[in-house]
Structure 1
Amino acid sequence: MANERENNTNYTIYENGPLGEVQIANEVVAIIAGIAATEVDGVVAMAGDVQKELVSKLGMKVLSKGVRIAFEDSGIRVDLSIILEYGCSIPEVTAAVQERVKNSIETMTGLKVVDVNIRVADVKIDNE
């Protein structure tokens, strides 16, 4: 596999495969990370940026909300911003998110994940 950076929005995983080239868009990796993170117990939602918040308020679901992907020579760096459920163990939940996101991206894309950085942006209390 030729793990070479193509540009900021695509990552080439097969350059000269038997049937041609295969690229994965940055947004696809972000969606995989966002879905994987929200599958972990204790994660209420992803915390997004202002632009993605506006899009989601218009009724369009943004699956990559709260996720930033950076392709580097050594692999992919994932930055997540999450909202946790009040009362959960932050170290346990964030460790589970890191492992789940890393495994999901590597399994689905074949790309190497070198970092999964998490920012706990908020805590959701039941009566909110």
Structure 2
Amino acid sequence: MSQPEQTTGSRPSKRSSHDPLSTDDGRISVSQSVVSKIAGVACREISGVHAMGTSGGRAVGAIRERIPGSSGPSFSQGVGVEVGETQAAVDLDIVVEYGISVAELGRSIQRNVKQAVERMTGLEVTEVNINVDDVYLPDEEGQDTQQRVS
């Protein structure tokens, strides 16, 4: 826990209006895991995001989901965050559905994640970086994948 600001004699009267996490009654801190979950959910809300995480992380996540008693999918999979006292930065690893504009999808994700984290935590999001790790290609169901010999 950080030490309160030292003053000569009395407690500081008014906190800066730029810091919604600091009040006359004390300080509110938000953990990295909270920001990770919020960012992960906000990213998954955007149509065109097929999955999140690097290929290795997705494989481990798929195995973990199959273990009886596990808590299910991790909402913070594919999310990295740095959280300071008043700001946060978010890094996302995603898999994009084939045919989706990566640039448009990225802007939508950035906007949604920034709004969700700022609204729910009071932290200023300084950046949302997106790494497109893979493209999801849907199975070609109903098509014969073997070559025919005449």
Pairing partner for 1:120 from 129, 132, 141: 132
2: CA distance, partners of 1:51 / 1:89: 24
Partner of 1:58: 64
The percent of aligned pairs where both chains have the same amino acid is 34
CA drift of 1:52 comes to 7.3
| Greater gyration radius | 2
Pairing partner for 1:24 from 30, 34, 39: 30
1: CA distance, partners of 2:117 / 2:46: 15
**Gap regions ≥5 residues in structure 2:** 1-14, 66-70, 141-150
2: CA distance, partners of 1:66 / 1:33: 10
Stretch moving more, 101-110 or 66-75: 66-75
Aligned pairs, number: 119
Distance change in 2, residues 1:69/1:55 (3 Å): same
Distance change in 2, residues 1:83/1:74 (3 Å): same
Runs of 4+ in 1 over 3 A off after TM superposition: 1-4, 48-53
Bigger proportion of residues as strand: 1
**Gap regions ≥5 residues in structure 1:** 5-12
Matched letter for residue 117 of structure 1: N
Distance change in 2, residues 1:82/1:52 (3 Å): closer
So what's the TM-score if we normalise by structure 1? 0.78
Distance change in 2, residues 1:112/1:36 (3 Å): same
Stretch moving more, 88-97 or 52-61: 52-61
Partner of 2:144: none
1:109 matches 2:121: yes
So what's the TM-score if we normalise by structure 2? 0.68
